[in-house]
Amino acid sequence: MFTSCFSERQIFFISMRRRRICKFIGSRKGFLFLMVTLPIFYASWQLSHVVGQALIPPPPPDQILHHFRANRSLVHYLDNINLLIEPSSVCQKKVPVLILVTSTPSHFRHRDVIRNTWGKHQETYFFLGLSQDDDRLADAYIEAKQHSDLIVHEFQDHYQNLTLKVGLMLQWALDRCPRAEFVFKTDDDVLLNPRTLDTVLADNKDAALFGYKKENSIPHRDEYTKWYLPRWLYNEDLIPEYLSGTGYIINGKNLKEIFTASLHIPLINMEDVYFTYLVAKRALELPLTHDRRLSPYKPWIFTCPYKNYASIHSLSPEEMESIWSKIQSLGESKFCNYFTSELLLY
Ligand SMILES: *[C@@H]1O[C@H](CO)[C@@H](O)[C@H](O)[C@H]1NC(C)=O
Ligand SMILES: *[C@@H]1O[C@H](CO)[C@@H](O)[C@H](O)[C@H]1NC(C)=O
């Protein structure tokens, strides 16, 4: 097959050695040799490419946060971000608790599992960001049409843009569902237990904000952690208190003042520290109420304690499905009714 690898005229000029190579390639042995070596060459070339890519560090978050250097006013962002998709009608009935879930374009599976498990039990909406020219926008339209629970804004969906996403969420809630009694901000890897949630809401009905309170936390100053909080955004050495962003609840009565105050407080990239500490606690002097049933963790043993949690964090969609069905059966278990597992809560 390679006998014609050189033209007659070239063959005249090439040396005997090269002619032998040409002959070898043309032979059956040569063919086999190529069949074996070419894939190996190709694979190692690909591998070196992948390894090379992995060795190039991602851009430091400082660079990603750069746009905050130009303007840290929430109103500046909200004015420039378009709403691309939203359900045509929301909050038709009385809403005891409006659940707002931060999601991301690729998390179809997370959203589907939530819709089929705890999401069925209360008004639940998912928020994500996409740009107009993103191919995934078409999928988002289809998903939105099917489920009427998707809200898409035009911005880059990135972890470091979470504060903007939550700002957009609160704005949307005020516009579209102003009479919700409570607004629950959570993430798509959190499982809610509607039964316990009802008790938690009843127990905290007069609280302005409640959730899992963290006290005297030290901000992460290492650029490469997900929770990097640079000094130029937050200069203090401690965060005195804030409610974990995995699930905090705002009383409907306080939603407007919190949103309005946030428009004038310089943004930081940590959404929970921003809204619950900087805006609610520090600027408005609203108390933050701790409730350990809104857990930012996954319980360390699986028995009755699961029943005592209103939210559990850090679950894959598969775990969420299996824990959901277990919680359903625990609901009927007499054993768990007698067993006070409060002690096992974190
Ligand atoms: C940030 O944006 C707001 C609203 O658009 C504007 O009023 C303000 O002057 C801007 N700040 C800076 C530092 O550019
Ligand atoms: C966050 O969103 C803003 C507004 O769309 C954009 O300018 C900025 O680049 C985004 N940041 C990241 C890290 O995607």
Using one digit for the tens of pLDDT, what is the confidence trace for 283-330? Answer: 999 999 999 999 888 776 666 667 788 898 888 999 999 889 888 887
Q: Is 75 in the pocket of ligand 1 (CB under 6 A)?
A: yes
At 333 the pLDDT is 64
Q: Is 333 in the pocket of ligand 1 (CB under 6 A)?
A: no
Separation of alpha carbons 52 and 249, rounded Å: 45
Ligand 1 atom at minimum distance from 75 CA: 4
Q: Do the beta carbons of residue 191 and residue 117 sit within 8 Å?
A: yes
Quote the tokens at residue 45.
């070339």
At 56 the pLDDT is 59
Separation of alpha carbons 254 and 208, rounded Å: 6
Using one digit for the tens of pLDDT, what is the confidence trace for 135-190? Answer: 999 999 999 999 999 999 999 999 889 999 999 999 999 999 999 999 999 999 99
Going by C-beta distance under 8 Å and a sequence separation of 6 or more, which residues neighbour residue 170?
183, 250, 255, 258, 259, 262, 275
Ligand 2 atom at minimum distance from 157 CA: 14
More confident residue, 346 or 111: 111
At 150 the pLDDT is 98
Angle at which helices 252-262 and 162-176 cross, to 10°? 130
Burial label for 105, CB within 10 Å (0-12, 13-18, 19+), is middle
Using one digit for the tens of pLDDT, what is the confidence trace for 232-274? Answer: 999 999 999 999 999 999 999 999 999 999 999 999 999 999 9
Q: Separation of 73 CA from ligand 1 center, angstroms?
A: 6
Per the document, the length of the chain is 346
Q: Is 64 in the pocket of ligand 2 (CB under 6 A)?
A: yes
Q: Is 158 in the pocket of ligand 2 (CB under 6 A)?
A: yes
At 55 the pLDDT is 58
At 40 the pLDDT is 76
Q: Separation of 78 CA from ligand 1 center, angstroms?
A: 12
Cα Rg of the chain, angstroms: 28
What HEC string does the chain produce? CCHHHCCHHHHHHCCHHHHHHHHHHHCHHHHHHHHHHHHHHHHHHHHHHHHHHHHCCCCCHHHHCCHHHHCCCHHHHHHHCCEEECCCCCCCCCCCEEEEEECCCCCHHHHHHHHHCHHHHCCEEEEEEECCCCCHHHHHHHHHHHHCCEEEEECCCCHHHHHHHHHHHHHHHHHHCCCCCEEEEEECCCEECHHHHHHHHHHCCCCCEEEEEEEEECCECCCCCCCECCCCCCCCCCEEEEEEEEEEEEEHHHHHHHHHHHCCCCCCCCHHHHHHHHHHHHHCCCCEEECCCECCCCCCCCCCHHHHCCEECCCCHHHHHHHHHHHHHHHHCHHHHHCCCHHHCC
More confident residue, 21 or 96: 96
Check whether 41 has a pLDDT greater than 60: yes
Q: Is 76 in the pocket of ligand 1 (CB under 6 A)?
A: yes
Ligand 1 atom at minimum distance from 79 CA: 5
The phi, psi pair for 15, rounded to 5°, reads -75, 165
Q: Separation of 76 CA from ligand 2 center, angstroms?
A: 12
Q: Which fold does the domain 66-295 belong to in CATH?
A: Spore Coat Polysaccharide Biosynthesis Protein SpsA; Chain A (3.90.550)
Atom 5 in ligand 1: residue holding the nearest Cα:
76
- Closest-CA residue to 71 (of 302, 282, 263, 328): 263
Q: Separation of 62 CA from ligand 1 center, angstroms?
A: 21
At 226 the pLDDT is 83
Atom 10 in ligand 2: residue holding the nearest Cα:
156
Q: Do the beta carbons of residue 160 and residue 61 sit within 8 Å?
A: yes
Could you say which ligand is closest to the alpha carbon of residue 73? 1
Could you tell me whether strands 150-154 and 124-130 are parallel, antiparallel, or unpaired per DSSP bridges?
parallel
